[in-house]
Structure 1
């Protein structure tokens, strides 16, 4: 009689375990949807590539000065910041 109950328990347990197995997971139909939605949300203006005059509104002299300052920012490095050392023995 005990063997019959063991077989029934084993069969029930294996049946429950097999219910969790599936050849096609449920997320396949929506796989990648969140990535595509995030990429679309990051695009500010989808028609920006068609704009033939992207610098409209900025006059030429201001653009030349801004570009010159940008280029000059790479010529010299900033001097290192000297650290302030404070100790309990006094300073010299």
Structure 2
């Protein structure tokens, strides 16, 4: 049986299609996962001003304990009983 140019072209296109389809099965995950998350970790590390801050045992200076507690209590109380709202009145033309 004699092959025609159409038959050869069809076979060649089919082979190329088969190779193209088979290349989709190749896993690229190891190459992509190798550096996955490193940029986020690097950005988080660059945003830390003082990485050794947790080892500092000096007390905070500037406010005593009584004043800090009083301020904190007033802050908490402001959410329990907020100040009443006054009605808004606008006088136009009088």
User: TM-score normalised to the size of structure 1?
Assistant: 0.62
Number of the residue aligned with 1:48? 53
Determine the C-alpha separation between the residues in 1 that align with 2:81 and 2:53: 35
**Count of residue pairs the alignment pairs up:** 83
List gaps (5 residues or longer) in structure 2: 90-94
| Gapped regions of structure 1 (runs ≥ 5) | 85-92
Distance 1:42 1:17, change over 3 A: same
> In the TM superposition, what whole-angstrom CA distance separates every residue of 1:13-67 from its partner, at most 9, and x where no partner exists?
22233334422333121111122123213322211111213522x1315434433
Q: 2:16 maps to what in 1?
A: 12
TM-score (norm 2): 0.61
Alignment of 1:15-26 (within 5 A): 15-25=19-29, 26=31
Larger Rg: 2
